[in-house]
Amino acid sequence: MLDIAFIRTECDQVKNAARAKGVDVDIDRLLDLDERRRKLITENSELRARRNDLSRAVRELRGGDRDQAIAESKSVGARVTEVERELAEVAAAFDELMLRVPSIPAPEVPPGESDADNLEIRRWSQPRQLDFPVRDHVDLAQALDLVDFSRPQAYAGSRSYALKGDGVLLEQAVLNFALNHVAAKGFVPVSPPVLVKEQALVGTGFFPLGYEDTYRLERDGLFLAGTSEVGLVSLHRDEILDEKRLPIRYVGISPCFRREAGAAGKDTKGLYRVHAFNKVEQVVLCRNDEAVSEQEHHGLLRNAEEIVQALGLPHRVALACAKETGLGQVRKHELETWMPSRNGYCETHSCSTLHEFQARRSKIRYRDQSGSLRFVHTLNNTAIASPRILIAILENYQNADGSVTIPGVLRPYLGGRSRLEPRGESGSR
């Protein structure tokens, strides 16, 4: 959410942002509603002031004067009711529209229509040249007995899977490794609620646009969050923080749930696009200072790169173009990891700066040195998301004999073993 005063004075900037991001929002209508809204508020205040005066008079007057004051107050009261009903309508439309106004992209964000227009920033390492037929992660996982797809899909639907055996150990290993890596930098680990109220999803900017992509538990009026970011940011909703506490840096770990409503038929095979997964997520709340949040952004990005590099996975970092930059995002970098079977770099991490967007919606503020209240800036980035990252690990580390080498940093989590061996072959484990 943006400041309505900003939208008023910089409406061209806002319109441009909406156009560049492909967001459908009628700014002129919003401004019109804003004007009507303020008019009604003013009228309402004046009427109430009058009524307050009359009430005071009623107390002091006697006889006919008193009756007259009561009569007038009654009619003013009736008018108040009328104005308030109208105001409620206008305000509801105004509020609804406000939730759809995008953040202004940072100046460096390139224009563009699709991820093909994202700007590659850097690459790390080279994909291995494999001198044997490349197997995809589904084959590898099945040969190594790490995943069962068919049975879970029968009783849990499409995009379901069950990790088993070393698959579970491998997942726990990457999650643990990433969690420890970020926690070691002072990020406070949090395992937040993933079953949340609508307000948490509105507050973090996922609603209203992401409604269709979110699981809803109708009986209980709750939703399953698609990321722990929802719970982490909401931890401070309605709070006035002490500036000395900033920046607040969290590393969350939680299951994540996504309906993938708009992705029917896309990436249906394997572990790439699933309805439920686990993610270690970094979230930062910092001072309302663009330079500070930019710095935090790059810190988050660096952490993610360190993790992927420690895992030895070739990857690149790209700056998302305007169209790929979400409603609330000011800038977004994607970290894309090499996946041999897809013959490309695929998104495994997403690093976002949101400035005040979430803080305004969630009312997270702090008092600055001059004593005035400011909204914090928020940022987030993946640390690791599984099982998607397992694709990259299995495929990049596969060997000609069907075994998979375990990245060095994960070995301590897997009993010191260096390889995952196909079942039944070369017995060591």
Q: Which of 37, 159, 258, 360 is catalytic?
A: 258
* 42 lies in the site for RNA, by CB under 7 A: yes
Element (H, E) at 255: strand 248-257
Least Cβ distance, residue 80 to RNA (angstroms)? 8
Which of 13, 49, 189, 261 binds RNA (CB under 7 A)? It is: 49
Least Cβ distance, residue 61 to RNA (angstroms)? 10
* 38 lies in the site for RNA, by CB under 7 A: yes
* Gap between the Cα atoms of 362 and 377, Å rounded: 11
Element (H, E) at 283: strand 276-286
* 101 lies in the site for RNA, by CB under 7 A: no
Element (H, E) at 383: strand 377-386
* 287 lies in the site for RNA, by CB under 7 A: no
Stretch that binds RNA, among 69-77, 120-128, 145-153, 413-421 (CB under 7 A): 69-77
Least Cβ distance, residue 64 to RNA (angstroms)? 14
Least Cβ distance, residue 72 to RNA (angstroms)? 8
Cβ-based nearer residue to RNA, 1 or 321:
1
Q: Which of 37, 135, 159, 388 is catalytic?
A: 388
In the block, tokens 């037929």 appear at: 133
Cβ-based nearer residue to RNA, 23 or 222:
222
Residues 6+ apart with CB under 8 A from 308: 124, 315, 335, 337, 348, 349
| Sign of the four-CA dihedral 53, 59, 65, 66 | positive
* 88 lies in the site for RNA, by CB under 7 A: yes
51 carries an active-site annotation: no
Least Cβ distance, residue 58 to RNA (angstroms)? 3
347 carries an active-site annotation: yes
| Site map (CB under 7 A) of RNA, residues 175-214, x = contact | ----------------------------------------
* 74 lies in the site for RNA, by CB under 7 A: yes
* 266 lies in the site for RNA, by CB under 7 A: no
Which value, in Å, is the radius of gyration of the alpha carbons in the chain?
Answer: 27
Cβ-based nearer residue to RNA, 41 or 119:
41
* 46 lies in the site for RNA, by CB under 7 A: yes
* Gap between the Cα atoms of 14 and 27, Å rounded: 8
Element (H, E) at 286: strand 276-286
29 carries an active-site annotation: no
In the block, tokens 């790929």 appear at: 324
* 92 lies in the site for RNA, by CB under 7 A: no
3-state secondary structure of 210: coil
User: Which of 227, 250, 234 minimizes the C-alpha distance to 199?
Assistant: 234
- CA 186 to chain CA mean position, Å: 21
Stretch that binds RNA, among 71-79, 135-143, 292-300, 346-354 (CB under 7 A): 71-79
Give the side-chain half-sphere CA count within 13 A for 302: 7
Helix axes 166-183 and 388-396, enclosed angle (nearest 10):
110
273 carries an active-site annotation: yes
**355 to 414, contacts with RNA by CB under 7 A?**
365, 373
> Which is it for strands 240-242 and 365-367: parallel, antiparallel or unpaired?
parallel
Least Cβ distance, residue 375 to RNA (angstroms)? 9
| Helix%, strand%, coil% for the chain, nearest 5 | 45, 20, 35
* 268 lies in the site for RNA, by CB under 7 A: no
CA 262-393-412 angle, 5° bins? 130
Which of 15, 48, 259, 298 binds RNA (CB under 7 A)? It is: 48
User: Which of 391, 386, 390 minimizes the C-alpha distance to 341?
Assistant: 391
| Sign of the four-CA dihedral 398, 402, 405, 411 | positive
* Gap between the Cα atoms of 144 and 404, Å rounded: 9
Which of 12, 24, 28, 59 binds RNA (CB under 7 A)? It is: 59
* 309 lies in the site for RNA, by CB under 7 A: no
Q: Which of 234, 350, 352, 403 is catalytic?
A: 350
* 91 lies in the site for RNA, by CB under 7 A: no
| Sign of the four-CA dihedral 140, 144, 145, 147 | negative
* Gap between the Cα atoms of 334 and 345, Å rounded: 10
Which of 1, 18, 30, 54 binds RNA (CB under 7 A)? It is: 54
In this structure, what token pair is assigned to residue 180? 């420890």
* 45 lies in the site for RNA, by CB under 7 A: yes
Cβ-based nearer residue to RNA, 58 or 97:
58
Q: Which of 273, 287, 316, 419 is catalytic?
A: 273
388 carries an active-site annotation: yes
- First-to-last alpha carbon distance for the chain, in angstroms, is 54
Cβ-based nearer residue to RNA, 38 or 164:
38
Using CB under 7 A, list all residues that contact RNA: 4, 38, 41-42, 44-46, 48-49, 51-52, 54-56, 58-59, 70, 73-74, 77, 81, 88, 365, 373
Residues with a known catalytic role: 258, 273, 347, 350, 388
